[in-house]
Amino acid sequence: MTRLRSLRAFFSALLLASCAPEPVPADPAIWLVENAEGQKAWLFGTIHALEKPALWQTAEVADALLQADTLMVEVAGLEDQAAMARTFAKLAHTPGLPLLTERVAPEVRAPLLRLLDKHGLKDNGFSSIETWAVALTLARAETSDANSEYGIDRAVVAQAKGKRIVELEGAEGQLRLFDGLPMPEQRDLLTAIVADTGVLDRETASLAQAWHSGDMAAIEMETSRGLLADPELRAVLFTSRNQRWSEAVTRELAAGKHPFVAVGAAHMAGPDGLPALFVAEGYSVTRLR
């Protein structure tokens, strides 16, 4: 009987292995930041979800991870999905809210109903869920091909075991950005998700392709569309976060640390991206790959 169980386990493992997606080679962007005292930091653009696992550790990335004494990420503990779900539920819950269709402009109501129906959801099913949380729920449903288990943020944390880890926001802090949006901006967020119905998957795939090749021009174009095209949302979700993160990295450098900063690649793009912010502050910034 023991041998039979062992054989079953062996063949089950073999079957699972045969179903695992083949990792895809990647060449993601990474920068070296240096100050006048010779302190170093590395800026590595990640992607939060992918359709397949990626071979993301180029020689430059591996060398930077080896030299770094600190890892700075948006959120650590991404593997604890249950804890993240509890945090989401706590912040998203407010009883007695109006129907979803009453929270958006009249011209958005019909496409919103079609999107809800597409995913088996009802207009009256969100009476205790805040508008920002509905928007994130629908966005996730629309990008079902992308798997957070293959996200590079999670892979970097797993690779950097033994290093000091600094959370730039944490799960609750990140969700509070959305929870703190004024109601007009929450409506804009939901409206942007509805407007992108049917193209979110393509946009996610385009962003993944740009990340794989380190194409920052394409990533910058992707971050100028959709919800980040809204000036108020862009200020809260992009530019102000980049500023806070650059200040946190600066403090680490001043304390004599050598941080490896792994955040979404979009935050590296354009004149408001992290590399540009460090250049503006007088740091030497070199793209390594």
DSSP state of 288: -
pLDDT of residue 14: 34
Weakly modelled stretches of the chain, pLDDT under 50: 1-18
Helix, strand or coil, per DSSP, at residue 262? strand
Amino acid at 75: V
The whole-angstrom separation of Cα 103 and Cα 178 is 16
Threshold 0.75, pTM exceeds: yes
Summarize pLDDT for 168-198 with one digit per residue, the tens. 999 999 999 999 999 999 999 999 999 988 7
CA separation for the pair 43, 64 (Å, rounded) = 10
pLDDT value of residue 10: 38
Burial class of residue 228 in the structure, from the number of CB atoms within 10 Å of its CB (0-12 exposed, 13-18 middle, 19+ buried): middle
Parallel, antiparallel, or unpaired for β 284-287 and 259-264? unpaired
- Predicted pLDDT of residue 80: 81
DSSP codes, 2-61: HHHHHHHHHHHHHHHHHHSPPPEE----EEEEE-TT--EEEEEEE-S-BSS-EE---HHH
Residues 123/97, Cβ–Cβ less than 8 Å = no
Instruction: Tell me the per-residue pLDDT of 31-71, one tens digit each, with 9 for 90 and over.
Output: 999 998 889 999 999 999 898 999 999 999 999 999 999 99
* Structure-token match 């060398």, residue found: 63
pLDDT of residue 198: 72
Written as one letter, the residue type at 201 is D
Helices 170-179 and 81-92: crossing angle, nearest 10°? 30
